[in-house]
Amino acid sequence: MAVRIATGLSTLPDPVEAGREAAESAGEQLDGESAELAFVFASGAHLAAPEAMIDGIQEALAPAALVGCGAGGVLGSGRELESGTGIAVWAASFAGAGEIAPFHTRLESEAGEARIAGLPALEGAQAAVLLPDPYTFPTDAVLSALAMGAPGLPVLGGLASARGPTGSAALILDDNVCEEGAVGVCFRGVELLPCVSQGAVPVGPEVTVTGAEGNVIHELAGRPALETVERLIAELPPRERALVAGGLLIGIVVDGGKPEYQQGDFLVRGVIAADTESGRLTVGALVHPGQVIRLHARDARSADEDLRRALRLRMDALGGSGPAGALVFSCNGRGSAMFGSCNHDAEAVQQELGGAPAAGFFAAGEIGPVGGRSFLHGFTATVAVFPS
């Protein structure tokens, strides 16, 4: 029996009715199959009464596991609600083929030392989805620890981008609203294809880091880093120089050793500082000598092309079977602010994945793998594609 995924979207103002409407829509598309897992993303006034919204979802869908978070905006069925009040529900039946382990993890102090409690055992896991609260959960540190303890495990998700009226987090696990930490799901026996579109285009040639410490690049190709970057920019064609003038980004190869690097091989990070006296560049990631970097720039056209290219690669990997559906985590800096109109990412996902059901939310930071390791990104569209 094939994996079946369904989605529902509601803009009703009453939280119970909205939860019920979105869940009923998803339930109808499951065609009689029970929901083994449901995600809910809620925005606006619903965060004042998330328990009521949960009641509506449970009444209409009764999923075996329910996970979700507060959002600045939600998306589903080719539509994006960037602001206001809305609910997106994503539901799946995996035909009993795998194990779904929902969890709530949080930072605790034990004997004066901080530790992360509540993470499930990850041995044998295919993937995990993580929805952290950005104020109470050290996402970067946890992703680094997971890269050590569970190498190669793809972790996808996004930072919750809205909180309740009292300022506490609105993280949902089954019937509970958690006020700190992160919620998520660990998948075993369920295949998931991660898709990360960083929305940036590489420009200029590749250059090797010849001197670096921490996140400071001292030298590129044996010369002061800033001097090398200025030379590379001066040699760019006019359109690419104009793109870089809008904001220079550095793409860092994480997984080296390839004969040729493609657009998705680079971890794209911003330039935090440039020291004109020493020629050093400070970037938003750790860098070490021997790594390859390439200048990147971002605009609406490159972001559109990159997302569509990444999605088509996943469709090629699926062959003729196609996707059952997808979870979408789009940066809250994208949407109409980046593309000039609404619905861009939702429509692109719907078009490139052949109309497969997809839902998600606008995140305050997106989680997804690059070069075999999962990172926290910005201005990214991260998509979890589930084969049928």
CA distance 341 to 335: 7
* Cβ pair 314, 307 in contact under 8 A: no
**To which H or E segment does residue 294 belong?**
strand 292-297
Cα-Cα-Cα-Cα dihedral sign, residues 9, 11, 12, 18: positive
Hey, what's the torsion of the CAs at 8, 13, 14, 19, to 10 degrees? 10
How large is the average pLDDT for residues 66-74? 98
CATH for 201-297? 2.40.30
The answer to whether residue 257 scores a pLDDT higher than 80 is no
Per-residue pLDDT reduced to its tens digit, 217-249: 999 999 999 999 999 999 999 999 999 988 899
The answer to whether residue 110 scores a pLDDT higher than 90 is no
Radius of gyration of the chain (CA): 21
pTM of the model: 0.94
Per-residue pLDDT reduced to its tens digit, 14-49: 999 999 999 999 999 998 899 999 999 999 999 999
Q: Looking at residue 1, what is its pLDDT? A: 53
| Per-residue pLDDT band at 287 (split at 50, 70, 90) | very high
Q: Which two tokens stand for residue 247?
A: 């904001």
Per-residue pLDDT reduced to its tens digit, 162-217: 998 888 899 999 999 999 999 999 999 999 999 999 988 899 999 999 999 999 99
- DSSP states of 122-161: -TT--EEEEEE-TTT--HHHHHHHHHHHSTT--EEEE---
Per-residue pLDDT reduced to its tens digit, 372-386: 899 999 999 999 999
The answer to whether residue 123 scores a pLDDT higher than 90 is no
How large is the average pLDDT for residues 3-7? 96
The answer to whether residue 74 scores a pLDDT higher than 70 is yes
- Greater model confidence, 97 or 99: 99
CA distance 62 to 46: 19
Averaged pLDDT score across all residues of the chain = 94
Q: Looking at residue 264, what is its pLDDT? A: 82
SS3 at position 272: strand
Q: For the packed helices 50-60 and 15-29, what is the interaxial angle rounded to 10 degrees?
A: 30
Q: What percent of the chain has pLDDT over 70?
A: 100
Q: Name the residue ranges covered by the structural domains of the chain.
A: 4-197+303-387, 201-297
| Per-residue pLDDT band at 263 (split at 50, 70, 90) | confident
The CB density around residue 275, as the number of other CB atoms within 10 Å, is 14
DSSP assignment letter at 265: G
CA distance 81 to 305: 22
